[in-house]
Amino acid sequence: MPRPRLSTLAAACATALATALIGPVTSAHATTAHYSGTLTDGATWIADTPEHWNGTLLLFNHGFGPTTAADAPSPAMAQALLAAGYALAGSSYDPNGSMWALDSAERDQFAALSAFGRQVGTPTRVISVGQSMGGLVNAEIARDGAGRVDGALGLCGLVAGGVDLDNYQLDAEYTLATFFDPADADALVNLDSQADAGGLAGRLTTAVEAAQQTPAGRARIALAAAYLNLTDWAPGQQPPARGDFAGQEQQQYAWLAQGLLGFIVPARWSVEQSAGGNTSWNKGVDYAGLLRGSVHAKQVEALYRDAGLDLRTDLHRLTRGADITADPAAVARLKRTSTAGQGLAVPLLDIHTTADQLVPVEQESAFAGRVRAAGDSALLRQAYVARQSHCNFTTAEVVAGLHAVEHRLDTGHWDDAASAARLQRSADGLGLDGAAFTDYRPSRLTGTR
């Protein structure tokens, strides 16, 4: 089975950093100028400005991956934004630590903003833009950036934060290991190296591939997928019908078999490296209660019935064996560096695909609840694109989202600027590469502690 294009958390960060320059370098067509420099912690920053700058700077927060500077989600996106008159800037984050660079990211982004002001000029408006892990950085900047940024646009953001991410991924990995790879059930955390994590991911994937051959295996894969908040719509396929539980599991399996575990398990090593220890736990978790809170509960129940398995027995087995504990200091550090939603200081629009395999759309539900509890819901809007895959947006969708944030900044009101219908009209009017905004409400995020 061919692997999907996982234009993943890492791909957004793969933009190579140009050699540091003292001043701007102008392109052959004299339409843009490029700047770069080094910050005090060794992080690098880059910026690009159009020939006719509209005064707005987009401060781009890149996703998980190599710590090289990027100032736009993709080269095509950069070209379109520069052509529209926006200046772009972004930092690498600290290159001396983990790729989970939340220790330094917010600080380095603000430092890059200051460096831009000194070397290029003072923008009339700054909008923070963040993608994937950078969407979490973006949400933190929207919380802390009063007086430095005016608004924010989040794309496929990991806005539930690092602790929730690690915990629901652990629930899924623990389920897979318990039923299909018991030799690894006690080796899911405190990983020794990225290579060690890659080996674990390979063994789990192989075990899943074997389990898919039987009804019992498929039922248990669906159970793990429920804990992972894994979408049931895979690339190249039509979304399965609401009651097509077997079809839903088949598409969830496609994600697992085609490289998903090979990304998320090594990423856990990077988070542990950043936090200084294990940041996830399942001791005391009631796995029956977790399943009841999942949007996929009916699917799991149906597949267990079809397989002739006793679901209650499996859930009891998971609950009884759950004894993984976290390092309290590591959890505290991850909470301090890698959470958002405690409040907003500027308007934020988050956009998410409805079938995101790496950062489930349900993260938006958890984030909205925290912003609501902080009393800042009036500053937050969330919009959704009916499409599979992580960060799989068209240029038109991103620019339409940016225009919605600008409407909020220009008028002081969202009005209907962030509604699906208005965003779709805005994107269609750009004459670019189309859009698929949709009215959608994400379910609850499973696995929060």
pTM of structure:
0.92
Cα–Cα distance between 291 and 229 in angstroms, integer?
A: 10
Q: Average pLDDT over the chain, rounded to whole? A: 93
Do residues 103 and 211 both lie within one domain?
Answer: no
Do residues 178 and 286 both lie within one domain?
Answer: yes
pLDDT digits (tens, 9 = 90+) for 410-429: 999 999 999 999 999 999 99
Do residues 122 and 17 both lie within one domain?
Answer: yes
Helix or strand run (H / E) with residue 128: strand 125-131
**Helices marked H in 181-214 — which ranges?**
194-211
Do residues 210 and 326 both lie within one domain?
Answer: yes
User: Tokens 């005016």 identify what position?
Assistant: 150
pLDDT digits (tens, 9 = 90+) for 151-190: 999 999 999 999 999 999 999 999 999 999 999 999 999 9
Do residues 199 and 265 both lie within one domain?
Answer: yes
Cα–Cα distance between 310 and 329 in angstroms, integer?
A: 39
∠ at Cα 53 (50, 59), nearest 5°? 80
The pLDDT-based confidence of 10 (bands split at 50, 70, 90) is very low
Would you say residue 1 lies in a domain? no
Torsion of the alpha carbons at 165, 175, 224 and 292, rounded to the nearest 10: -90
Q: What is the mean pLDDT of residues 351-360?
A: 98
Q: What is the mean pLDDT of residues 51-66?
A: 97
Q: What proportion of the chain, given as a percentage, has pLDDT over 70?
A: 93
Per DSSP (E only), the strands in 53-114 are 56-61, 87-91
Do residues 223 and 281 both lie within one domain?
Answer: yes
Do residues 305 and 171 both lie within one domain?
Answer: yes
| pLDDT score of 9 more than 50 | no
The pLDDT-based confidence of 26 (bands split at 50, 70, 90) is very low
First to last CA, the chain: 36
Parent domain of 327: 162-333
Of 278, 313, 333, the residue that ends a domain is 333
The pLDDT-based confidence of 228 (bands split at 50, 70, 90) is very high
Judged by average pLDDT, the poorest of 12-16, 141-145, 158-162, 322-326 is 12-16
> How much is the pLDDT for 22?
27
Do residues 156 and 171 both lie within one domain?
Answer: no
Of 276, 306, 333, the residue that ends a domain is 333
> How much is the pLDDT for 31?
80
Do residues 177 and 293 both lie within one domain?
Answer: yes
220 to 112, 223, 226, 303, 306: CA distances (angstroms): 47, 5, 10, 9, 12
